[in-house]
């Protein structure tokens, strides 16, 4: 591999044209935030009973399957809008509402974050290019609960630096998940992730975090991915459900918010990667609630 091919290029992603909002059949249940302005008004414990956990697992599997169905279409020339439509159709065909669609005004059914975009990239008519990396972030709402997941994908052949960033961010996610044990403060997750990220001199984004999820898309529980102690010292309990979703960068963690009020991209245009699972913590470990149906794909311990 040549020196040029080993290094990740700086980003040049710009917002393209956004297509009209996709339709969801009236028969599909909407989350409560679709019926009022402003943030969610759900108050529910982050510790879930078994019936609720199983509903979250069903929603999480639909989200994961929608994400990997969309990922099958990833190649140079395909637009992120196309990926959004595929995931949208999969979710509604399986009786789920795409949680992001209409959430606080967000116009699309998934987030598609390309190259230097940290998170909340809005699908549009920009065609993917050879060598791009992309995060698909998908949340499905069904039977009164949300399941939230994301993963990284490559567009054709990518440089070695980007490949390693993706691989190591996946490992950081799993290390953070394994650190989630009953009786520990939730900030231990970020401590473990930060220690691992520092081995490679990666930036570890602070301002976008994991969160409680279930009846609410985002509960009040915050799961930092950096060493935030003594802050965020909620003690982990059996049955607690939340996401772990670190975002690592090749350079700075400073970012700009685009004028769409959603998309965050690194100030230095360096590439960034993210993986995400919704998990439930058990007395003897954890379970992933956002595994796809196909055991041959997906981030697994």
Q: What is the pLDDT of residues 117-157, one digit of tens each?
A: 999 999 999 999 999 999 999 999 999 999 999 999 999 99
Nearest to 59 by CA among 188, 243, 248: 243
5-9, 145-149, 187-191, 246-250: the lowest-pLDDT one: 5-9
CA distance 298 to 273: 15
Which tops the pLDDT comparison, 147 or 5? 147
Report pLDDT for 283: 98
Nearest to 235 by CA among 179, 182, 280: 182
The Cβ of residue 30 has, within 10 Å, a number of other Cβ atoms equal to 13
Arithmetic mean of pLDDT, 211-236: 97
Arithmetic mean of pLDDT, 65-69: 99
Token look-up 């990926």 returns 83
Percent of the chain's residues with pLDDT above 70: 98
Is 251:266 a contact under the CB 8 Å cutoff? yes
Report pLDDT for 3: 45
Arithmetic mean of pLDDT, 201-211: 98
Arithmetic mean of pLDDT, 62-86: 98
For the entire predicted model, the pTM comes to 0.97
How confident is the prediction for the chain on average, in pLDDT? Answer: 97
**CA distance to 37, 143, 145, 292, per residue, from 297 (Å):** 38, 25, 24, 7
Range list of β-strands (E), the chain: 97-98, 111-114, 117-119, 133-142, 145-154, 203-204, 210-211, 222-223, 241-244, 247-249, 255-257, 264-266, 272-274, 277-282, 285-288
Arithmetic mean of pLDDT, 35-39: 93
Q: What band does 2 get if pLDDT is binned at 50, 70 and 90?
A: very low
Is 169:187 a contact under the CB 8 Å cutoff? no
Is it the case that residue 271 has pLDDT exceeding 50? yes
Q: What band does 97 get if pLDDT is binned at 50, 70 and 90?
A: very high
CA distance 28 to 93: 10
Arithmetic mean of pLDDT, 35-50: 95
Q: What band does 6 get if pLDDT is binned at 50, 70 and 90?
A: confident
Arithmetic mean of pLDDT, 220-237: 97
Is it the case that residue 1 has pLDDT exceeding 90? no
DSSP 3-state assignment of 45? Answer: coil
Report pLDDT for 4: 44
């Amino acid at each position: 591999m040549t020196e040029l091919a080993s290094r990740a290029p700086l980003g040049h992603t710009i917002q393209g044209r956004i297509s009209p909002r996709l339709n969801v059949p009236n028969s599909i249940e909407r989350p409560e935030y679709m019926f009022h302005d402003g943030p969610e008004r759900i108050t529910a414990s982050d510790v879930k009973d078994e019936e609720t956990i199983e509903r979250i697992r069903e929603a999480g599997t639909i989200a994961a399957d929608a994400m990997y169905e969309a990922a099958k279409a990833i190649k140079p020339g395909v637009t992120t809008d196309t990926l959004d439509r595929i995931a949208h159709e999969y979710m509604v065909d399986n009786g789920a509402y795409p949680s992001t669609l209409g959430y606080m005004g967000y116009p699309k059914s998934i987030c598609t974050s390309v190259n230097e975009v940290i998170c909340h990239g809005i699908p549009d008519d920009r065609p993917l290019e050879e060598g791009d990396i992309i995060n698909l972030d998908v949340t499905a709402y069904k039977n009164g609960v949300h399941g939230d997941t994301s993963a990284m994908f490559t567009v054709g052949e990518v440089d070695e630096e980007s490949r390693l960033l993706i691989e190591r961010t996946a490992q950081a996610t799993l290390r953070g998940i394994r650190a989630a044990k009953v009786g520990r403060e939730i900030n231990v997750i970020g401590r473990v992730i930060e220690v691992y990220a520092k081995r490679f001199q990666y930036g570890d984004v602070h301002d976008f975090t994991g969160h409680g999820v279930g009846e609410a898309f985002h509960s009040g529980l915050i799961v930092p991915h950096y060493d935030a102690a003594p802050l965020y010292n909620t003690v982990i309990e059996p049955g607690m459900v939340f996401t772990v979703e670190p975002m690592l960068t090749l350079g700075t963690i400073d970012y700009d918010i685009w004028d769409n009020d959603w998309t965050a991209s690194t100030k230095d245009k360096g590439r960034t990667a993210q993986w995400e699972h919704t998990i439930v913590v058990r007395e003897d470990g954890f379970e992933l609630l956002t595994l796809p149906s196909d055991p041959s794909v997906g981030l697994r311990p």
